[in-house]
Amino acid sequence: MGSTAKFEIDGKTVELPVLRGTDGPAVVDIRKLYAEADVFTYDPGFMSTASCESKITFIDGDAGILLHRGYPIMELAEQSSFLEVCYLLLHGELPTAPQFEEFEHNITYHTMIHEQFDRFFMGFRRDAHPMAIMTGAVGALSAFYHDSTNVNDPAQRMISAHRMIAKMPTIAARAFKYSRGQPFVFPRNELSYAENFLRMCFSVPAEDWVPNPVLTKAMDRIFILHADHEQNASTSTVRLAGSSGANPFACIAAGIASLWGPKHGGANEECLNMLMEIGTVDKIPEFVQGVKDRRYLLMGFGHRVYKNYDPRATVMQKTCHEVLAEVGAGNDPILQVAIELEKVALSDPYFVERKLYPNVDFYSGITLRALGFPPEMFTVLFALARTVGWIAQWKEMIEDPSQKIGRPRQIYTGAPARSFVSVDKR
């Protein structure tokens, strides 16, 4: 017999089951609360509410732990590859060599996009934000690949997963090329996932992209760091959109829209802009004072779940130093600002008391800039990498027999029922 929690209201006691996962706090199952006690619960921002059961990712925010299918992010970032992590997230286990070979082949051979799809980009203004292009273009995938939109068919679900993981770099690179006014570059099957993406972004007809193993490894690791992060805003958006039975391409487009916000995936762009605005180390005290006066936020700091160092930030910081050294920018003044700002914030009581630590975005902007990407591409890269997490979570939800359409309740505080008054009497 599992334990129960007692809930008392208006002299009535309701006994509620307490559920326990592999790790993390116990969860009071309130599904029957409304039926038995005629009350709702109120939890804007889901501060204490688990919205689903999941076997994919676990975070212990106090300890700074992030596990994918049980494996620590640090080990995956150092010993695995992005495509292997994709397989792990989608299938639950690390692949054997033949399984990986088949998976890699499937992804590689889905990287092309329908020729007509390219015309879609031409409808956007040249100065459109690439995230605006991503939201529209990914939503349009369902118009091109409707043979994999039946959410009730497991084979179609897997094909749509492969298609999205494979095509996202091609679409993201096109969004980048379009904004630069450069011709699109087609994928090449002999290249790895990260190499292919970098080449599609940085190759031009006049000069081919020159592979660099340090930069390719860094790109792959950045993808790993962003692959999944349990029930964050964009993932919850994907699950909610998918709970109605909407097709996977539409659901991922909804996730991209949610990710764009500056409090979520848009923070990496905002963070680099912030560091560049600060500009020099001597301006840090004045900037920090502005944060403490609540005039603005310290971007790249703080997290709803992590009340400790974000483990992804540790890997990102190391990758940042490697990339900057490789491109000969080890003395980049913006990196010096970041290092000093982190030091100042981590020793200031304002940040210490609120348990504000660097998150993955603090060093990602500087790293991506050194790789050659402009700030408006940062969130696009995040979306590219997070696609596998979104699709794994979406698939898990569809395959969960207890899945229901998502439909939150509310406290209504508007006008009570009243009669319509015709305009001449108002």
Chain residue whose CB lies nearest ligand ACO: 302
Q: Smallest gap, in angstroms, from Cβ of residue 297 to ligand ACO? A: 4
307 binds ligand ACO (CB under 6 A): no
- Near ligand ACO by CB under 6 A: residue from 187, 300, 365, 389: 300
Q: Which is nearer to ligand ACO, 103 or 301 (CB)?
A: 301
Q: Among residues 91, 217, 304, 318, which is the contact residue for ligand ACO, using CB under 6 A?
A: 304
Q: Which of 274, 298, 371, 391 binds ligand ACO (CB under 6 A)?
A: 298
Which residues fall within 8 angstroms of residue 13, CB to CB, at 6 or more apart? 6, 7
Distance of CA 6 to the CA centre of its chain: 37
**Span from 106-114, 351-359, 390-398, 412-420 in contact with ligand ACO (CB under 6 A):** 351-359
How many angstroms separate the CA atoms of 316 and 362, rounded? 8
With beta carbons less than 8 A apart as the criterion, state whether 278 and 341 touch. yes
When binding is defined by CB under 6 A, the residue of 222, 299, 334, 380 that contacts ligand ACO is: 299
**Range in contact with ligand ACO (rule: CB under 6 A) among 6-14, 34-42, 356-364, 408-416:** 356-364
How far apart, in whole angstroms, are the C-alpha atoms of residue 375 and residue 269? 5
380 binds ligand ACO (CB under 6 A): no
CA distances from 297 to 271, 292, 345, 360, 375 (A): 10, 9, 12, 16, 18
Q: Least Å distance between CB 64 and ligand ACO?
A: 13
Residue 284 within binding range of ligand ACO, rule CB under 6 A:
no
Cβ closest to ligand ACO, residue 178 vs residue 260:
260
Binding ligand ACO (rule: CB under 6 A), the pick from 249, 301, 363, 394 is: 301
DSSP-derived secondary structure for 49-75: ------SSEEEETTTTEEEETTEEHHH
Q: Are 243 and 405 in contact (CB under 8 A)?
A: yes
Beta strands in 33-137 (DSSP E): 57-60, 65-68, 71-72
- Min dist CB 359 to ligand ACO, Å, is 4
- Residue positions annotated with a catalytic role: 303, 361
Q: How many CB atoms lie within 10 A of CB 372?
A: 13
For residues 170 and 185, give the distance between their C-alpha atoms in angstroms, rounded to a whole number.
9
Question: DSSP label at 218?
Answer: H
Only one of the segments 8-16, 280-288, 355-363, 373-381 lies at the binding site for ligand ACO (rule: CB under 6 A); that segment is 355-363
Positive/negative CA dihedral, 220, 222, 224, 228? negative
Contact stretch for ligand ACO (CB under 6 A) within 27-35, 74-82, 211-219, 354-362: 354-362
Q: 148 to 177, contacts with ligand ACO by CB under 6 A?
A: none
Only one of the segments 29-37, 77-85, 196-204, 297-305 lies at the binding site for ligand ACO (rule: CB under 6 A); that segment is 297-305
Q: Report the C-alpha gap between 328 and 321 in whole angstroms.
A: 10
Query: 358, 301 in Cβ contact below 8 A?
Result: yes
Any contact of residue 386 with ligand ACO (CB under 6 A)?
Answer: no
Radius of gyration of the chain (CA): 23
| Binding of residue 316 to ligand ACO (CB under 6 A) | no
Residues within the interface to ligand ACO (CB under 6 A): 263-265, 267, 291, 297-304, 354, 356, 359-361
